[in-house]
Homo-oligomer: A and B are copies of this chain.
């Protein structure tokens, strides 16, 4: 069967992965209300196409923090990609680079920051959880700077890990042969120990994440680096306002793909209030439920500067390594361009709320 849309990677990947691993990447927290709502929020929005516009020349090219991108699409940070493909994050970086996309590397990457950077031809950002052990963070930041990473992403929606019932039922743990190689082994050993009824991921986070940090603590992180700092997991105008007030350089509207707070407002539904609060002062990205060029166009028309793709990138990585990732991003870019043609908005700058109904 040909791959003609992102969901085709989904069905193929499902056939390739053991059930507990599939559940880990596919599942969300609680009743998975937010997983479903993220998708539905896009499908509830209709498009108002304009006609007789010259769409012969279309461009999806854009830039973030000065780095050129073939399209406003990046790969969201996800952990331990060697569980899905032997090359892991190296393949993802290579694929993203081929397609001209951004790649946000997880703090729990299973390849070294340097290996990933060596394979990358496009921009890399490094995602961080705020570990209790701040020295581990500052070492990572220093390595990322040296390796040419262009921004830091601090995930702020995970002081504790969501109740992912599938993982709890599966007693899910990370395969012993796949390590968070950018952190001391001691710091992540617990993630490899399976216990029925618990998730090793959640247990580990409880032990190592700092749940006490507040806006005031951001200054420490900023003091360690000159890189732009992006917060991932903002869903309200209030927090968007605070982020800008605290000098944050970018915002990712996200509910962690429905994996953290079950019942959280869908990312797409939260986007307009964040965009309004930010008022163009910093870039706003969105992740959560993006599966189609249509979804990307809706997010951009609502004021997002770019979107991140989570699960689909993992499906493509599983199925075809770096080629899969590159193909997925190119396909989505092409779908975006195609939707721009059919809505009569050939430039990204044409995308505004008048296309939405």
Residues of B within 8 A of A5 (CB): 30, 163, 165
Q: Are B269 and A46 in contact (CB under 8 A)?
A: yes
Residues of B within 8 A of A211 (CB): 54-56, 341
A146 within 8 A of B: no
Select which of B45, B160, B217 is within 8 A of A342 by beta carbon: B160
Select which of B31, B56, B264 is within 8 A of A292 by beta carbon: B31
CB distance from A248 to the nearest CB of B (A): 10
A119 within 8 A of B: no
A2 within 8 A of B: yes
A236 within 8 A of B: yes
CB distance from A332 to the nearest CB of B (A): 12
Give CA–CA (A64, B45) in the complex, Å.
Answer: 35
Q: Are B2 and A197 in contact (CB under 8 A)?
A: yes
Question: Digit string of A239-264 for contact with B (CB within 8 Å is 1, else 0)?
Answer: 10010000000000001000011111
Q: With A30-B292, A46-B37, A265-B46 in contact, do A234 and B342 touch (Cβ < 8 Å)?
A: no
| Beta-carbon nearest neighbor of A130 in chain B | B52
| Beta-carbon nearest neighbor of A42 in chain B | B263
Q: Are B159 and A55 in contact (CB under 8 A)?
A: yes
| Beta-carbon nearest neighbor of A334 in chain B | B163
| Beta-carbon nearest neighbor of A45 in chain B | B263
Q: Are B213 and A54 in contact (CB under 8 A)?
A: yes
Residues of B within 8 A of A165 (CB): 4-5
Give CA–CA (A339, B162) in the complex, Å.
Answer: 9
Give CA–CA (A342, B341) in the complex, Å.
Answer: 41
Instruction: From A52, A261, A335, A354, name the one whose CB has the most chain B CB atoms within 10 angstroms.
Output: A52
Q: Are B342 and A159 in contact (CB under 8 A)?
A: yes
Residues of B within 8 A of A4 (CB): 163, 165, 168-169, 197
Q: Are B264 and A51 in contact (CB under 8 A)?
A: no
CB distance from A270 to the nearest CB of B (A): 8
| Beta-carbon nearest neighbor of A338 in chain B | B160
Known: A33-B43, A55-B211, A163-B338. 15 other contacts (CB 8 A): A2-B168, A2-B169, A2-B197, A4-B169, A4-B197, A5-B163, A30-B292, A47-B261, A47-B264, A47-B265, A51-B231, A51-B233, A51-B234, A160-B341, A263-B294
Interface set of A (CB-CB < 8 Å, partner B): 1-5, 30-31, 33, 37, 43, 45-56, 156-157, 159-160, 162-163, 165, 168-169, 171, 196-197, 210-215, 217-218, 231, 233-236, 238-239, 242, 255, 260-266, 269-270, 292, 294, 298, 335, 338-339, 341-343, 354, 357
Q: Could you pull out 24 A-B pairs where Cβ atoms are within 8 angstroms?
A: A2-B197, A4-B165, A4-B168, A5-B165, A33-B43, A47-B264, A48-B264, A49-B157, A49-B233, A49-B236, A51-B233, A52-B156, A52-B215, A52-B231, A55-B159, A55-B160, A55-B212, A56-B210, A160-B338, A160-B341, A162-B342, A238-B354, A261-B339, A263-B294
| Leading 6 A-B pairs by shortest Cβ distance | A2-B197, A56-B212, A51-B156, A261-B342, A4-B168, A46-B265
